[in-house]
Structures are given as C-alpha cells and as structure tokens.
C-alpha cells in the first residue's frame, strides 16, 4: 500500500472514511516539526535540547519499586480531542495513579478520520522530555538524557505505529468485505475494553515499541550494556502503566506477539468464516510508514 492508494481507497470506498475535526486552534496552539526518518536511532542528539521539567510536576512514587525522583505532570498537555475515542487518541485525562500511558506523550491520528491532511504519528516534545528524564532515572544513570530521549522517541513511535498496523489490517478486511470495519468493529471493541487489562491493542502497541528498541537501539556501534539499560528502563515504566498498557511485557516474545495480534484482530471480524488465520495474513501485509512530527506547544 502506498500513499496514493489511500486516495484510490477513498474514491472507491468512501463509506469507510469519515472526517473528524482536529481541535479548534490546532494550528495556532501547536507547531508541527516533521521528522524525515521516524525509525532511525541516534545514540546522541546533535543538538542537545534545553530540558526543563514542566511546572507543577508531582512525584509518582506510589509503587515502592519505582525510583522516587521520576516526575510527571499531573495533566498531560496534549491536544484535546474532547470525548472522541479512537485507538491512538491523545490521552489527556490525568492525573494517573502511577505513570501516564504512552498515549499521553504521543498520539496517532488514523487515516480513516484524518485523511488527507493530518493523519500520522505525533510526539509531543515537552512530554517526550519528561518521559526521557524518567527513562534516564529508571536506567540507574546508565543512559544519558540524550540517549533516553532517542530510546523514548523510538518506543513512542513504535507504540503509535502499531495503532496504524491495526488500522491497516482493518482496511485490508474492508477492501475484501466492502463495508466499514475500522470505524465499526475495531473501534467498538476498543471502546468496550479501554481502561481494562482486556485492552490488548494497547499492550501490543507497547510491545511493538519495546521490540523496536530491542532490535534497533545501540546497534551501530553495538552497545549491549546501553541497550540492556534501555530495556530495563522500559520494563520499569511499563509495569507502572495503566491497565492494558501494563501487560506489554507478556507479548514481547515473537510467539506471543503474533498470537495475541491474531486474536485481537480476528475478534473484530463479523463471522468466523471471514476471519484470517496465520501470521502472514496479519503482518505480511506491506504497510505505510506513518509520518512522524514533533508537536511543540506554542504556549511554552
């Protein structure tokens, strides 16, 4: 599937698309900075960013195993989509019991709702800084802030890109079945289970981000100590995440990842005879690489 295919899909199957609005003042409130190669990993940022914790941050040390000095803002300052719910929607509903979920630092706008202009993955820069600071602390100081920034970016992009994988799979079913599956079945299941440990899509999304870090971070040159510290820091973060998200570590091994992906995606199809079987059907499909932009608050 290529970008042009989305235009053709829209012409041929307009009923599977709908137009969702971005928040009012979207372009006035946020500056979008495109990132050319979203899956690239740099051990060192070329220009170390100015880092400041968001004002009004609070400690989150309810868990005795959590480092006491990781700090997250009580409310995530992300674009507010109101009551709209779709997988990947920015999560602004803090404060969280332990740590904010990945969707409070980054978000995905699906092409079913935001084609042709705004669909893609966004990472909120201020929140990425907060996340990187936490990861550096969870690593016991092995990762520098800039290294943690790149680990955080890769993990968050991987998480949000999984929401795109699920959407692309729904699209494949729509092409063959010719009725809305993403906006109906997929979203209905997501709404029903969101906020519980039944929300496997969020667990798989974080597992996907974790697997990206495992396979790509600190490979050139190879540094297994840094990579191990990055994965340990993500372990620590994931275990503190809200229900659903916190189950990611169950699915990071190949067999579990594909098996659960199959279960999640099959559950949304209409009849058993329509269900796909086998991992090739799930992940052998060539996907678009969703575009990535850093969203920077103009208020800051």
Please give the residue ranges that form the binding site for Zn ion (CB under 5 A): 103, 202, 205
CB of 222 to Zn ion, least distance (A): 30
List all residues 6 or more positions away from 220 whose beta carbon is below 8 Å from its beta carbon: none
Complex with Zn ion: residue 78 or 229, whichever CB lies closer: 78
Specify which residues 295 forms β-bridges with. Answer: 32, 124
Q: Is 59 exposed, middle or buried (0-12, 13-18, 19+ CB in 10 A)?
A: exposed
The whole-angstrom separation of Cα 279 and Cα 104 is 30
Distance from C-alpha of 278 to C-alpha of 65, rounded to nearest angstrom: 39
| Closest distance of CB 262 from Zn ion, Å | 19
Supply the DSSP symbol for 50.
Answer: P
Torsion on CA atoms 246, 252, 258, 262, rounded to nearest 10: 0
R_g over Cα of the chain: 19
Residue closer to Zn ion by CB (options 138, 157) is 157
Q: What are phi and psi of 122, to 5 degrees?
A: -125, 140
H/E element, 163:
helix 145-177
Of 124 and 205, the one with the shorter C-beta distance to Zn ion is: 205
CB 139 within 8 A of CB 233: yes
CB of 245 to Zn ion, least distance (A): 7
Q: In this complex, which beta carbon is closest to Zn ion, that of residue 185 or of residue 242?
A: 242
Q: How far is the CB of 11 from Zn ion (least distance, A)?
A: 30
- Please identify which residue in the block is written with the tokens 């053709």: 8
Minimum separation from the CB atom of position 159 to Zn ion (A): 6
Minimum distance between the CB of residue 152 and Zn ion, rounded to whole angstroms? Answer: 15
Q: Which residue has the tokens 């009580």?
A: 74
Q: Quick one: 194 or 218, whose CB is closer to Zn ion?
A: 194
Q: Which is nearer to Zn ion, 205 or 238 (CB)?
A: 205
β-strand pairing of 292-297 with 120-124: parallel
Paired tokens of 153: 């970016």
- For the CB of residue 100, give the shortest distance to Zn ion in the complex, in Å: 12
- Least distance in angstroms from the C-beta of 136 to Zn ion: 23
**Complex with Zn ion: residue 98 or 103, whichever CB lies closer:** 103
Comparing CB distances to Zn ion, the nearer of 205 and 282 is 205
Q: Are 123 and 157 in contact (CB under 8 A)?
A: yes
DSSP code of 10? H
């Amino acid at each position: 599937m290529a970008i042009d295919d989305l235009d053709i899909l829209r012409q041929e199957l307009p009923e599977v698309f709908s137009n969702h609005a971005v928040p009012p003042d979207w372009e006035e409130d946020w500056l979008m900075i495109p990132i050319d190669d979203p899956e690239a990993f740099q051990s060192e940022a070329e220009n170390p960013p100015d880092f400041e914790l968001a004002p009004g941050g609070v400690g989150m040390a309810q868990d005795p195993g959590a480092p006491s000095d990781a700090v997250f803002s009580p409310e995530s300052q992300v674009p507010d989509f109101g009551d709209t719910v779709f997988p990947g929607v920015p999560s602004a509903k803090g404060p969280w019991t332990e740590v904010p979920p990945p969707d409070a630092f980054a978000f995905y706008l699906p092409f079913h709702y935001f084609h042709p202009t705004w669909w893609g993955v966004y990472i909120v820069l201020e929140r990425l800084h907060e996340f990187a600071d936490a990861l550096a602390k969870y690593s016991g100081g092995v990762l520098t802030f800039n290294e943690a920034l790149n680990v955080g970016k890769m993990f968050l992009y991987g998480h949000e890109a999984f929401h795109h994988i699920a959407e692309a799979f729904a699209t494949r079913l729509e092409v063959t079945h010719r009725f809305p599956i993403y906006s109906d079945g997929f979203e209905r299941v997501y709404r029903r289970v969101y906020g519980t440990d039944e929300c496997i899509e969020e667990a798989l999304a974080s597992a996907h981000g974790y697997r990206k870090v495992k396979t790509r971070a600190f490979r050139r040159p190879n540094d297994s100590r840094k990579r191990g510290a990055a994965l340990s820091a993500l372990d620590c973060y994931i275990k503190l995440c809200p229900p659903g998200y916190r189950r990611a570590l169950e699915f990071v091994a190949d067999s579990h990842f594909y098996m659960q992906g199959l279960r999640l995606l099959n559950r949304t199809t209409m009849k058993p005879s329509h269900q796909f079987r086998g991992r090739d059907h799930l992940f052998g499909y060539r996907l678009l690489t969703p575009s990535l932009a850093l969203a920077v608050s103009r208020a800051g």
